[in-house]
Every structure is written in structure tokens, then in C-alpha cells.
């Protein structure tokens, strides 16, 4: 429980920062003030200024927006495509369709994800959108596999058998009886993939393949500031901690949710 | 068993063919011409044409796909456009760094994760457990390139215990080479160890709550004895699966760490090759990695079924 | 056992320590793709090999002057069409074969051949024939007089190679220079050793290792940890102040041939309107860019010409920073509310950082830019070949390249008949005073036409161990000439 509260609080902090940044930031993050560069944290700039004299707090807030948006949409892609695929595979377990879906899953898993992300951006150019696609693709097999596994065990339950006997089709059973019972699992998995998405977005933008300037992103802030570490440590520490704390928050929340929602694991945790 | 193996082998072959098609044709649509990259902005059109002809870039896509695939089957990975030497030689040269680095990181991962995971599981709920698990949460959440940078600052620049990066080569001596890989291996291992420790702990807790452990406890075994004799072995199955995944991740996923420590590994080779449009290198290396993972998965599946035939219907 | 092992390791370290005193390890950002300077544009090839391993008929001095190289002297005919080169006697290639006139004929003919893959084939375009008079005399005939022919022959793309070793040149370069190629650990380093049979003053170093470190942070760490003795073309100007303050290091700030410009697509509206180009030029604050992107390293320029060249005229006044004027010019051109365009940025930090600053400056006068960061291959495809860009930032590092403005198909698509005529005349002019006058005229035309926004001359910054002498501070060409480098006693 403690984990859950701490996790949700941390996550909420960054989500709030991101939301507030739509209407207000301490400074305009697109305005450069070169004469005011590399100022350590002070009363005017709580997190100091970067190498162009931009306000780091403002950039962290807007950067949160980028990170969260990329990760959420990527999870959305994973759920939107992965869950139906998993349900289908489970409903027609053992069929050719099942085989094709699961083998394609394995195939996607077999590709080195960062390399594929780099390839995608080489084809379509670096942008937040392409980062989403690159991360999202690898979420599909995760959700498909998790969904299929859980759905398979649900298919043996009595109430599903009852529905079957009453003549409902497999598709209908999947949606009416299986899917609602998968919600807890999907929430937990979604949180985990969300946090992985934040890390992946940071890595991609760190190598220059994420959102493009002037849109701030945490990974790029780190990449651009690291040669200045000894001169002005604050400009790498703040984005670094932003990533660390967001991911930490999401992981704690994910673990907490699992303990709360999954009775089997709760028994273990007790 | 044989029928199952054959069936899996068939789908493995299909997977490989699909993978080769996907890799080749995604890369073929990559904009950018290796020849114009190599000759730069003052090149004359006829010079470019001459080079394209020399590199065999003027053949049709289908021809080039076929010659690439036949090459792969016969073990010939082609000639790099930019380096102009056989891809297999280049890859071999990079593998002598990437493979030991991945193994080194994996060993560190296991060495850290096992004791930590076991400790946390046996002292579940204690302060130690909370502290250790909190530590692993941090380890999972820290971006490893950031962690690597901090390590360089501390160990190379301030303490001067290690050099900041680079690889002297194995001919410089085993210890010298291993030393050069140590900081990168730690940077790679930390998040993996954190993940593995968590898996280890929860897997142990799972088995500890199984009935047969309770029975053995009831029969008078101490908690530690029960752990050592029964729980540990059974808890290892999910742990081994994770380790398998981690090895393939470490092999291909070290690009960023290789960059931070300027190690000439496989990841950096591909990264560089993409930016130079040395497509043949990218295609062959990615295919190689995919091939390795698919084959390892295939063998793991077979091993599982061999151990526990019931699994045949569950894959 | 452990003891024994440790003992031998320390002994080995001590022994190599003694030997290393006369070696040098130089960091470079880019690795050569292969080792043939005559078939690729990659500057990294010349950085490692030019003058160290390969030599041409003429060679660049550290100040950019053209000096005798393998040709001891030369005679130019009255009409400027025939160059007779007298080669040095007794020069040997590293494989032991003699250098003679036939090697020169081979090299030049190879570079200008039909199927040549020389990246600077234009250097040889005017050559009609190359003939060996005797073993040490070569006669080159041109189709028309060419004022900069000797200059062209000093380029890395014009070095003399031998037919005996040409097959394997890409992995095992054999030249005539003061160093021989020893080893290439791909992805990591290239090692050279001293050529004891060198025809000229022998090198003072026993050998040299070039280490390739592309990541600026890694470069910083390697230098700070003294893994390397020098970093030539240090990629992160923000660290230089720190190196300067450190007694272990010296910072060399020199000039390069790199005119850093923000190119405008002269055929793409609205940049086809001179008023718009002028407005853009006035909207840019060069000093803020030099300060913010280059941390003060770089000289402002107002045209496409290097400030250290004697024929340079300072034209920065034509495009002084004046946002109000820029707005007025935009209004006059019919863009009172500004417009939106693309800004495509290749990888170097001058472009990425400069681009971010310029985008903010342009926004001040109402011009919105969509930035896209491109790799070189993408940049070549989209901006350079495809003309698919509004604005882009590039440093033109080829020496004396104002002639590109006479090529209407060149990526900024500047088409001015007067300018083209002037360059054509300049090409055949041999009189130095007249050449200077013409070059100054050319600078003025493009500056007053606001073809591109001229930003600054790229500085070459190198970080060098304080005990190391003789590293070139300037880069008249892409070369890390180690022939005169030595350690202080």
C-alpha cells in the first residue's frame, strides 16, 4: 500500500507538471537568453538555466508532456492491437491463426528493439511520432502474449463454458466474458509498459531520434548537457532525476496495483 | 517429440524468411544513397554513377535480395559498402568485444541478483527486504546512459582508476582488456541485476508458498534447508527464462553504452552503418541477431518440452 | 601465482611506459571508412593519412601556402598550359618500390579517368594529358590556363599512389610519407610507425595512434583521464575554458576553411525574393550564435570567404543584426505577418546548436521554422540533391570554394550570370593582383545579393597535452600533419 501511494503521488506530480505546462510555465521555454546561460538554481530560476539561458524547470515541465504523451500513446498502440490479437489467439487456440499470431509475436520479440527504432527513424526521419511507432510496435506482442495467456485460463472457467453452451460465438464471449476479467491484468501491464516507454523515449531522444527541438525532451536535454556536467551539474541532474523519478513512480504504482488487484500475488505478498 | 520438433523447425524457417524480407525491404526504402554519402558534396554525377556501378547498387531490388539471401545461406554476408571489406570479418572483429562484454555484464548481473534476491525473499517484510527492494526499484528506473556518465566522472576523471573508455584489444593482455570492459559492464548490469533480483525474489516467494515446501517445513526442515533443497531449484525456471532474454538484450542493446565508452562493438557498428547508409552491414547484422534469438528460442522451447512434455500443448 | 601475474603485468606496463614516451595518441571524432584518399570525400581519411603516409606533387604548409612536395620544382609555360614537374630523386614507397614519373602519370590518369571514383574529380577536369619525359620529369598539359592548378595538386585527393599497391590501398595504404601504416583496429584506432627510409626530414615520433571517439562526452572524458595526448578538432567548445585552466593541457584555436552559412533555397518562395533573404540576414545575431553555439570560438563573416585569406574583405556590415529592419523588409516584401519554413540541420554541433538559436531569433521577426535534425545521408538526399528545404546550416570546409556560387544547380540554386562570368574569368587568370581584385568582387556580389546568411568562419579547436609541440593549429586542409610533432624533453 505504501508503495502504491508513493508511486501514485510521484506519477501524479509529473502528470500534473505536464498538464500545468499547457497553460503556464515559469518562463517561455522557446526563448533563449544567451547572456543568462548556465545559471545555477536560484530564486528566479528554481532549477537554474541551461546552455542557452532557458529556464530548466519550464523545460522539464514541457518535457514531461513529451515523455508522457509518447509513452501513453505507445501503450495505447500495444493495447489496441495486442489485446484483440491475444483474444483471437486464445479463442481459436491451436488453430493456424493462433500459430501465425504467436509466431509473429516471437518474430517481433526477436528483433533488437533499439536497432529497429533507429531503422524506423532512418526511414521516416526523427520525430516524436516515429518514436511512438517504434516503441508501440514492441508493445503489441507484450500485450498479445499476456492477454492470450490469461484468456486461455479463463476459457476453462465455468461461466465461460456456460456461455458457450448457450450458443454464444467465440468473438462475443471474448468481449463479453473474457475481456472484462482481464482489466486488472491490463492495468498492471499497462503501467509497466508505460514506465518502460518513458525510459525508451528517453533513450531514443538521447541518441537524437525523439522529439525535435524546440520541443524539449528529457533524453535530449541530457544528451546536450552532458559535456557541461563538470561546469554546471544542475543541467544534467534535473532531467536525469525527472526520468528516474517518473519511472520509479510508475513502477511502484504498478507493483502496488498488482498487489491490490491480483489476489494470487496478494496471497504471496502477505 | 520428433513431430513437435519438426513442426517448430518449419515455423522457424518461415520466421527466418519473413524476417529477411522485412529487414531487406524496410531498409531498401531508407532514403539516402551510400555512394553520395561516400563522395560528398563536390562529387560529379558521373563519378557517383561509377561508384554505384562498382558497389552493385544498380541491380534491381529483387536481384539484390536474392543475392543477399543466397549469400546468407552460404555464410557469405557480403562486402561492406563503406569499409569495402567482408561483412563477416567486420562483424567477427566487433563480436570479440560485444560478446565478452555481454557475458561479463550477465555474470555481474547473476552475481549481484542471486544473493540479493534470495536475501530479500528469506527476510521478507524485514527492513533489509524493504531497503533491498527499494534499491532495485532505483536500479530499474535509472536511465543507464546517465548512470554510465556518472560512473565515468567518478571512476575515470576523478579517481582515475579506469580509463574513460576504448578497448586496447585482447592482445594487450586478458587483465588489461577485462579492466577496460569493467565499467561498461557494470553500467549495463545494474538495471538488469535489479530486474533479475526482483524476479528471483518473487519466484522464490511463489515456490515457498507452494504446498510441498510447507510439507517439508512441517517435516522439520528449517526454512533455510527447505529453501536450499527444494525452493531454489524450482524458482530457477522463470529466472533462467529472464536470463536468456537478458543475454540477447545485452548483445544488441549495448549501443548507447558502447557510445559512451567508445567501444567498437556490434551495436555501434550498426548505428554507424545506418548513418553511412552501409545497408548491407545493417541488413546482415540485424539478420544475424534475429537469427540468434530465434534459434535460441527454438532450443529453449525444445528443452522445456523435453523436461516437461505437458508443455507441448501450451506453447 | 597471483603475485607472479601482477608482477609481469607491472613490468610490462613499465616497459611500454618507457616506449610510449616517443609515441603519440591523437583523438579524432570521425573514423575513416577506408584508407584511400583518392576515392572518398571523408575528411577523416586525409586527417590520418595526408602528408603522414601519402604525399602529392605539392603540399600544404600549416599556413595554407602551397609548397613543393614530391615535385622538387616545376616550370610553367608562357601560355600557362604546360606544367613540367621535376620529381625528387631517390624517393621510395613504403613497400620498397621507387617513385618515378610513371607513378605520377598513373595517379593523375586514374583520378581523371572515365570510371574514376575520385570525390574531387573537378580538380583534374582541365588536364588534357599527363606524360613522363624521363624518370623524374612529368609534363602535364591543360586545356586552358588554370590559376590554382598547383593549389589543386596539393589536395589529399591528388596524392601520388603506386600501381603496385593500388589493389589493397583501402585496407593497406602504401605511400611515400614520413610514417608507414601499421595497423587498423576498426571502430577503434589506426596506428602509424615512423618511416626510417623517408626522403625528407625524418619524423621525431616513433609512431602515432589515431583513436576515434565520436561522442563529445567520451572525448572529454578521454582527454581528462589522459587516455589520449591530443584531441584534434575537439567537438565540444563548451569544455575548452576548463581545459585552458588546467596546466596539463593547451588549447589551440586556429582557423579552418569552413565558411559556416545558413543556406537559403534561392528558387523556393519566399526566398526567391531578395528582400526576404535580406530580412533573414538582418534577423540573425551572429555574435549570439558564436557565443551560444560555439562558446566564443569563430570569426563572423559577411560573405563566402575565409577571413585569413589575403583577398578577404569584411562585408559583415551588409547584414548587421537589426530585427527592426528585418521586420520592415519583410513587410516590404509582403510578409508583414511572417511565414513558416523548414530548417534542416545536419549532425555537427554548429548546425544543431546554431539552428536552435537561429530558430529563436527568426521567431522574433515573425518567421517560424520547423526544425528537423538529419543525418548526413538524409541531408544529402533531401537538401543537397532534392532541394527540399527552406533553410539549412552547413560549414563549407573545402578551401577557396566561392566558385560553387557559379553553379546554378548547386543546392542553394543561386543563378546570376554576372557572377558566373566573373568566376569563369577568375579561373583562367594568372596575375595575382587581378585575381585578388576579382575575388573581392565575387565576395561583394554574393554578399549584396544576400544569397545565404553568412554566419562565421568555423574555428578549429584542439586540446593538446602541454608537453606536445608541433600540432598544426590551423586546418588549411583536412590533415593532422605529425611530421614535425615532438615531445618536450
Look at residue C25 in the predicted model and tell me its pLDDT: 95
Record: contact B256-A207, CB cut-off 8 A: yes
A123: closest CA of chain B, how far (Å): 4
Task: Provide the grid cell at A270.
Answer: 502477505
Look at residue B41 in the predicted model and tell me its pLDDT: 72
Q: Please report which confidence band the pLDDT of residue A264 belongs to, taking 50, 70 and 90 as the band edges.
A: low
Task: Provide the grid cell at C224.
Answer: 581528462
- Residue ranges of alpha helices (H) inside chain B are 2-28, 34-39, 45-55, 61-73, 87-122, 127-141, 144-151, 174-208, 211-218, 223-226, 232-252, 255-260, 266-275, 279-307
Other chains touching A, judged by 3 or more CB pairs under 8 Å: B, C
Query: What digits encode the pLDDT tens for the residues C34-47?
Result: 899 998 877 889 99
Query: What digits encode the pLDDT tens for the residues A197-217?
Result: 999 999 888 888 888 888 899
Look at residue B34 in the predicted model and tell me its pLDDT: 79
What is the three-class DSSP state of A4? helix
**Listed ranges A146-150, A156-160, B122-126; the one with the highest mean pLDDT:** A146-150
* In chain C, % of residues over pLDDT 90: 70
Count other Cβ atoms within 10 Å, centred on residue C122. 16
Record: contact A212-C374, CB cut-off 8 A: no
Helix (H) or strand (E) holding A143: helix A128-154
Look at residue C416 in the predicted model and tell me its pLDDT: 94
Is the predicted pLDDT of residue A30 greater than 90, yes or no? Answer: no
Closest CA to B259 of A61, C218, A158: C218
Closest CA to C438 of C428, C456, C423: C423
Model ipTM over 0.85:
no
Query: What digits encode the pLDDT tens for the residues B167-183?
Result: 888 888 889 889 989 99
Q: How far apart are the first and last CA of chain A?
A: 12
Count other Cβ atoms within 10 Å, centred on residue B313. 10
Strands C179-185 and C189-194 turn out to be antiparallel
Look at residue A263 in the predicted model and tell me its pLDDT: 56
CB-CB: which of B30, B153, B267 is closest to A229?
B153
Record: contact A32-C292, CB cut-off 8 A: yes
CB-CB: which of C31, C41, C215 is closest to B43?
C41
In the 3-class helix/strand/coil scheme, how is C334-389 assigned residue by residue? CCCCCEEEEEEECCCHHHHHHHHHHHHHHHHCCEEEEEEECCHHHHHHHHHHCCCC
Is the predicted pLDDT of residue C62 greater than 90, yes or no? Answer: no
Q: For residues C486 and C469, is the Cβ–Cβ distance under 8 A?
A: yes
Look at residue B93 in the predicted model and tell me its pLDDT: 87
* In chain A, % of residues over pLDDT 90: 37
Query: What digits encode the pLDDT tens for the residues C231-254?
Result: 999 988 888 988 999 999 999 998
B171 CB-near residues (< 8 Å, 6+ apart): none
Count other Cβ atoms within 10 Å, centred on residue B288. 18
Helix (H) or strand (E) holding C392: strand C391-396
Q: What is the b/e burial string over C240-269, where b = at least 16 CB atoms within 10 angstroms of the residue's CB?
A: bebbeeeeebbbbbbbbbbbbbbbbbbebe
Query: Looking at residues A30-42, what average pLDDT do you find?
Result: 84
Q: For residues A27 and A55, is the Cβ–Cβ distance under 8 A?
A: yes
Question: Regarding predicted confidence, which is higher, B249 or B159?
Answer: B159
Per-residue CA distances from B194 to B52, B205, C167, C183, C294 (Å): 49, 17, 52, 41, 41
Record: contact A114-B252, CB cut-off 8 A: yes
Query: What digits encode the pLDDT tens for the residues C479-488?
Result: 899 998 999 8
Angle between helices B61-73 and B2-28 (to 10 degrees): 140
Look at residue C438 in the predicted model and tell me its pLDDT: 95
* Sheet strands side by side (includes C82-87): C71-76, C82-87, C137-142, C127-134
Task: Provide the grid cell at B19.
Answer: 524476417
Grid coordinates 453452451 are at which residue?
A165
Look at residue C58 in the predicted model and tell me its pLDDT: 95
Size of interface A-C (CB pairs under 8 A): 57
> For B176, which residue in chain C has the nearest alpha carbon?
C9
Q: Please report which confidence band the pLDDT of residue B315 belongs to, taking 50, 70 and 90 as the band edges.
A: very low
A269 CB-near residues (< 8 Å, 6+ apart): A259, B205
CB-CB: which of A32, A51, A213 is closest to C371?
A213
Angle between helices A179-206 and A113-124 (to 10 degrees): 70
Record: contact C221-B153, CB cut-off 8 A: yes
B37 to chain C: which residues are within 8 Å by CB?
376-377, 380
Residue C303 is classified by DSSP as: S
Query: What digits encode the pLDDT tens for the residues C131-174?
Result: 999 999 999 999 988 888 999 999 999 999 999 999 999 889 99
Concatenated DSSP letters for B236-262?
Answer: HHHHHHHHHHHHHHHHHTTHHHHHHTT
Look at residue A266 in the predicted model and tell me its pLDDT: 43
Is the predicted pLDDT of residue B208 greater than 80, yes or no? Answer: no
C377: closest CA of chain B, how far (Å): 5
C389: closest CA of chain A, how far (Å): 14
CB-CB: which of A115, A199, A229 is closest to B252?
A115
Count other Cβ atoms within 10 Å, centred on residue A94. 9
Residues 350 through 379 of chain C touching chain B, CB cutoff 8 Å: 375-378
Look at residue C10 in the predicted model and tell me its pLDDT: 40
- Average pLDDT of the residues of chain B: 83
Is the predicted pLDDT of residue C195 greater than 90, yes or no? Answer: yes
Query: What digits encode the pLDDT tens for the residues C372-390?
Result: 888 888 888 889 888 999 9
Per-residue CA distances from B195 to B112, B133, B222, C38 (Å): 11, 10, 28, 51
What is the three-class DSSP state of A37? coil
Residues in a beta bridge with C67: C59
Query: Looking at residues C330-356, what average pLDDT do you find?
Result: 92
Query: What digits encode the pLDDT tens for the residues C303-318?
Result: 999 999 889 999 999 9
Measured torsion, CA atoms of residues A69, A73, A74, A76, in degrees rounded to the nearest 10: 150
Q: How far apart are the first and last CA of chain C?
A: 39
CB-CB: which of B165, B175, B176 is closest to C222?
B165
Q: For residues C159 and C50, is the Cβ–Cβ distance under 8 A?
A: yes
Q: Please report which confidence band the pLDDT of residue B4 belongs to, taking 50, 70 and 90 as the band edges.
A: confident
Count other Cβ atoms within 10 Å, centred on residue A93. 16
Query: Looking at residues B29-36, what average pLDDT do you find?
Result: 76
Closest CA to C464 of C486, C443, C445, C437: C486
C332: closest CA of chain A, how far (Å): 26
Is the predicted pLDDT of residue B232 greater than 90, yes or no? Answer: no
- Average pLDDT of the residues of chain C: 90
Count other Cβ atoms within 10 Å, centred on residue B4. 17
Query: What digits encode the pLDDT tens for the residues C413-448?
Result: 999 999 999 999 998 887 889 999 999 999 999 999
- On whether any CB of chain A is under 8 Å from the CB of C246, the answer is no
C229: closest CA of chain A, how far (Å): 19
Rounded Cα distance between A112 and A122, Å, is 15
Count other Cβ atoms within 10 Å, centred on residue B223. 12
Q: Does the bond joining C24 to the residue before it have cis omega, within 30 degrees of 0?
A: no
- On whether any CB of chain B is under 8 Å from the CB of C119, the answer is yes
Query: What digits encode the pLDDT tens for the residues C94-123?
Result: 999 999 999 999 999 999 998 888 888 888
Interface of A with C (CB under 8 A): 30-32, 34, 37, 51-52, 122, 125-127, 208, 212-214, 226-231
> For B149, which residue in chain C has the nearest alpha carbon?
C217
C277 CB-near residues (< 8 Å, 6+ apart): C264, C266, C271, C449, C450, C451, C452, C453
Query: Looking at residues A1-21, what average pLDDT do you find?
Result: 90
C361: closest CA of chain A, how far (Å): 9
Closest CA to C233 of C261, C253, C215, C248: C253
Taking only Cα atoms into account, the Rg of chain A, rounded to an integer number of angstroms, comes to 22
Rounded Cα distance between B95 and B106, Å, is 16
Record: contact C360-A32, CB cut-off 8 A: yes
Helix (H) or strand (E) holding A206: helix A179-206
C292 to chain A: which residues are within 8 Å by CB?
32, 34, 37, 51-52
Phi, psi of C212 (to 5 degrees): -100, 115
Rounded Cα distance between B192 and B187, Å, is 10
Query: What digits encode the pLDDT tens for the residues C2-14?
Result: 443 333 344 444 4
Q: For residues C312 and C454, is the Cβ–Cβ distance under 8 A?
A: no
CA angle A181, A186, A190 (to 5 degrees): 165
Please count the residues of chain C.
489
Distance of CA B204 to the CA centre of its chain: 26
- On whether any CB of chain A is under 8 Å from the CB of C388, the answer is no
Record: contact C288-A31, CB cut-off 8 A: no
Closest CA to B51 of C113, A35, C264: C113
Phi, psi of A179 (to 5 degrees): -55, -50
Look at residue B262 in the predicted model and tell me its pLDDT: 85
Q: What is the b/e burial string over C297-331, where b = at least 16 CB atoms within 10 angstroms of the residue's CB?
A: bbbbbbbbbbbbbebbbebbebbebbbebbbbbbe
Closest CA to A101 of A136, A56, A59, A147: A147
Query: Looking at residues B290-302, what average pLDDT do you find?
Result: 79
Rounded Cα distance between C423 and C402, Å, is 9
Query: What digits encode the pLDDT tens for the residues A93-111?
Result: 888 899 889 888 888 888 8
Q: For residues B168 and B180, is the Cβ–Cβ distance under 8 A?
A: yes
Pick from A32, A216, A223 the residue to mutate for testing the C interface (most C CBs within 10 Å). Answer: A32
Distance of CA A13 to the CA centre of its chain: 16
Domains defined for chain A, CATH in brackets: 2-261 (1.10.3720.10)
B53: closest CA of chain A, how far (Å): 23
Residues 106 through 145 of chain B touching chain C, CB cutoff 8 Å: none
B153 to chain A: which residues are within 8 Å by CB?
229-230
Concatenated DSSP letters for A79-128?
Answer: HHHHHHHHHHHHHTTTSHHHHHHHHHHHHHHHS-HHHHHHHHHHHH-S-H
B212 CB-near residues (< 8 Å, 6+ apart): B230
Q: For residues C406 and C390, is the Cβ–Cβ distance under 8 A?
A: no
Q: What is the b/e burial string over A194-208, where b = at least 16 CB atoms within 10 angstroms of the residue's CB?
A: bbbbbbbbbbbbbbb
B138 to chain A: which residues are within 8 Å by CB?
244, 248
Question: Regarding predicted confidence, which is higher, A113 or C349?
Answer: C349
Size of interface B-C (CB pairs under 8 A): 154
B165 to chain C: which residues are within 8 Å by CB?
213, 218, 221-222, 227
Amino acid at each position: 500500500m505504501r508503495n502504491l501511494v508513493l508511486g501514485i503521488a510521484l506519477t501524479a506530480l509529473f502528470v500534473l507538471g505536464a498538464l500545468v505546462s499547457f497553460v503556464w510555465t515559469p518562463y517561455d521555454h522557446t526563448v533563449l537568453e544567451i547572456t543568462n546561460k548556465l545559471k545555477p538554481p536560484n530564486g528566479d530560476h528554481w532549477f537554474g538555466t541551461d546552455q542557452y539561458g532557458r529556464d530548466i524547470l519550464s523545460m522539464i515541465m514541457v518535457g514531461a508532456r513529451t515523455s508522457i504523451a509518447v509513452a501513453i500513446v505507445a501503450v495505447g498502440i500495444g493495447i489496441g492491437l495486442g489485446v484483440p490479437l491475444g483474444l483471437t489467439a486464445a479463442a481459436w487456440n491451436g488453430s493456424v491463426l493462433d500459430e501465425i499470431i504467436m509466431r509473429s509475436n516471437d518474430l517481433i520479440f526477436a528483433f533488437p528493439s533499439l536497432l529497429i527504432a533507429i531503422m524506423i527513424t532512418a526511414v521516416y526521419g526523427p520525430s516524436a511520432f516515429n518514436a511512438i511507432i517504434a516503441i508501440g510496435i514492441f508493445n503489441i506482442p507484450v500485450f498479445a502474449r499476456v492477454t492470450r495467456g490469461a484468456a486461455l485460463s479463463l476459457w476453462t472457467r465455468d461461466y465461460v463454458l456456460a456461455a458457450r453452451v448457450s450458443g454464444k460465438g467465440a468473438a462475443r464471449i471474448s468481449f463479453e466474458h473474457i475481456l472484462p476479467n482481464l482489466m486488472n491484468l491490463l492495468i498492471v501491464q499497462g503501467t509497466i509498459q508505460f514506465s518502460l516507454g518513458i525510459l525508451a523515449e528517453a533513450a531514443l531522444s538521447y541518441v537524437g531520434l525523439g522529439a525535435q527541438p524546440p520541443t524539449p525532451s528529457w533524453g535530449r536535454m541530457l544528451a546536450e548537457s552532458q559535456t557541461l556536467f563538470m561546469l554546471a551539474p544542475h543541467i544534467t541532474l534535473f532531467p536525469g532525476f525527472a526520468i528516474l523519478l517518473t519511472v520509479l513512480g510508475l513502477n511502484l504504482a504498478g507493483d502496488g496495483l498488482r498487489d491490490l488487484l491480483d489476489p494470487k500475488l496478494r496471497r504471496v505478498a502477505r | 517429440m520428433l513431430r513437435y520438433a519438426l513442426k517448430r523447425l518449419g515455423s522457424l524457417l518461415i520466421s527466418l524468411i519473413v524476417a529477411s524480407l522485412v529487414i531487406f525491404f524496410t531498409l531498401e526504402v531508407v532514403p539516402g544513397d551510400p555512394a553520395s554519402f561516400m563522395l560528398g558534396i563536390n562529387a560529379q554525377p558521373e563519378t557517383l554513377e561509377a561508384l554505384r556501378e562498382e558497389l552493385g547498387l544498380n541491380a534491381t531490388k529483387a536481384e539484390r535480395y536474392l543475392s543477399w539471401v543466397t549469400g546468407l545461406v552460404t555464410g557469405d554476408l557480403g562486402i561492406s559498402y563503406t569499409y569495402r571489406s567482408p561483412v563477416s570479418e567486420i562483424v567477427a572483429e566487433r563480436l570479440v568485444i560485444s560478446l565478452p562484454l555481454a557475458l561479463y555484464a550477465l555474470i555481474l548481473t547473476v552475481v549481484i541478483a542471486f544473493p540479493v534476491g534470495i536475501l530479500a525473499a528469506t527476510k521478507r517484510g524485514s527492513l533489509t527486504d524493504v531497503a533491498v527492494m527499494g534499491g532495485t526499484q532505483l536500479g530499474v528506473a535509472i536511465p543507464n546512459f546517465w548512470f554510465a556518465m556518472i560512473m565515468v566522472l567518478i571512476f575515470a576523471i576523478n579517481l582515475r582508476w579506469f580509463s574513460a573508455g576504448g578497448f586496447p584489444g585482447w592482445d594487450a593482455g586478458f587483465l588489461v582488456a577485462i579492466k577496460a570492459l569493467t565499467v561498461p559492464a557494470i553500467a549495463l548490469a545494474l538495471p538488469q541485476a535489479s530486474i533479475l533480483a526482483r524476479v528471483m525474489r518473487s519466484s522464490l516467494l511463489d515456490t515457498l508458498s507452494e504446498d510441498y515446501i510447507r510439507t517439508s517445513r512441517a517435516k522439520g526442515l528449517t526454512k533455510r534447508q527447505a529453501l536450499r533443497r527444494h525452493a531454489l531449484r524450482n524458482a530457477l525456471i522463470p529466472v533462467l527464462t529472464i536470463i536468456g532474454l537478458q543475454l540477447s538484450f545485452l548483445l544488441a542493446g549495448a549501443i548507447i553504452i558502447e557510445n559512451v565508452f567508445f567501444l567498437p562493438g556490434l551495436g555501434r557498428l550498426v548505428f554507424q552503418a545506418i548513418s553511412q547508409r552501409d545497408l548491407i552491414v545493417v541488413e546482415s547484422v540485424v539478420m544475424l541477431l534475429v537469427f540468434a534469438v530465434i534459434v535460441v528460442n527454438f532450443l529453449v522451447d525444445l528443452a522445456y518440452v523435453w523436461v516437461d512434455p505437458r508443455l507441448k500443448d501450451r506453447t | 601465482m597471483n603475485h607472479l601475474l601482477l608482477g609481469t603485468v607491472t613490468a610490462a606496463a613499465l616497459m611500454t611506459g618507457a616506449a610510449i614516451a616517443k609515441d603519440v595518441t591523437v583523438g579524432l571524432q570521425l573514423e575513416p571508412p577506408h584508407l584511400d584518399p583518392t576515392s572518398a570525400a571523408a575528411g577523416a581519411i586525409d586527417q590520418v593519412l595526408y602528408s603522414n603516409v601519402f604525399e602529392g606533387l605539392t603540399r600544404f604548409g600549416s599556413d595554407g601556402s602551397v609548397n613543393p612536395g614530391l615535385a622538387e620544382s616545376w616550370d610553367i609555360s608562357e601560355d600557362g598550359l604546360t606544367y613540367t614537374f621535376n620529381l625528387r630523386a631517390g624517393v621510395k614507397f613504403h613497400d620498397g618500390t621507387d617513385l618515378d614519373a610513371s607513378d605520377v602519370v598513373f595517379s593523375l590518369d586514374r583520378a581523371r579517368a572515365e570510371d574514376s571514383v575520385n570525390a574531387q574529380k573537378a580538380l583534374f577536369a582541365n588536364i588534357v594529358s599527363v606524360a613522363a619525359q624521363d624518370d623524374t620529369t612529368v609534363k602535364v598539359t591543360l586545356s586552358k590556363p588554370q590559376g590554382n592548378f598547383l593549389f589543386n595538386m596539393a589536395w589529399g585527393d591528388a596524392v601520388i599512389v603506386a600501381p603496385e599497391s593500388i589493389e589493397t590501398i583501402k585496407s593497406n595504404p602504401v605511400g611515400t610519407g614520413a610514417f608507414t601504416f601499421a595497423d587498423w583496429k576498426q571502430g577503434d584506432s589506426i596506428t602509424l610507425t615512423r618511416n626510417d627510409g623517408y626522403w625528407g626530414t625524418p619524423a621525431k615520433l616513433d609512431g602515432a595512434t589515431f583513436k576515434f571517439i565520436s561522442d563529445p562526452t567520451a572525448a572529454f572524458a578521454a582527454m581528462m583521464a589522459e587516455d589520449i595526448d591530443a584531441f584534434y578538432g575537439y567537438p565540444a567548445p563548451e569544455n575548452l575554458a576548463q581545459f585552458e585552466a588546467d596546466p596539463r593541457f593547451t588549447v589551440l584555436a586556429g582557423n579552418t576553411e569552413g565558411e559556416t552559412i545558413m543556406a537559403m533555397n534561392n528558387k523556393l518562395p519566399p526566398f526567391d525574393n531578395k528582400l526576404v533573404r535580406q530580412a533573414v540576414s538582418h534577423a540573425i545575431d551572429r555574435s549570439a550564435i558564436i557565443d551560444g553555439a560555439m562558446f566564443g570560438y569563430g570569426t563572423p563573416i559577411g560573405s563566402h570567404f575565409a577571413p585569413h585569406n589575403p583577398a578577404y574583405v569584411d562585408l559583415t556590415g551588409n547584414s548587421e543584426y537589426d530585427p527592426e529592419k528585418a521586420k520592415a523588409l519583410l513587410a516590404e516584401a509582403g510578409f508583414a505577418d511572417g511565414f513558416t519554413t523548414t530548417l534542416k540541420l545536419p549532425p555537427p554541433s554548429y548546425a544543431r546548436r546554431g539552428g536552435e538559436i537561429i530558430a529563436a531569433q527568426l521567431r522574433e521577426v515573425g518567421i517560424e521554422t520547423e526544425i528537423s535534425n538529419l543525418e548526413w545521408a538524409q541531408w544529402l538526399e533531401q537538401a543537397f540533391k532534392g532541394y527540399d528545404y527552406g533553410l539549412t546550416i552547413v560549414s563549407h570546409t573545402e578551401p577557396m570554394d566561392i566558385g560553387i556560387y557559379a553553379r546554378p544547380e548547386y543546392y542553394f540554386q543561386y543563378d546570376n550570370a554576372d557572377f558566373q562570368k566573373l568566376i569563369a574569368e577568375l579561373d583562367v587568370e594568372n596575375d595575382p593582383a587581378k585575381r585578388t581584385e576579382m575575388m573581392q568582387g565575387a565576395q561583394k556580389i554574393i554578399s549584396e545579393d544576400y544569397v545565404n546568411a553568412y554566419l562565421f568562419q568555423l574555428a578549429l579547436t584542439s586540446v593538446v597535452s602541454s608537453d606536445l609541440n608541433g600540432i598544426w593549429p590551423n586546418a588549411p586542409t583536412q590533415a593532422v600533419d605529425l611530421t614535425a610533432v615532438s615531445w618536450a624533453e
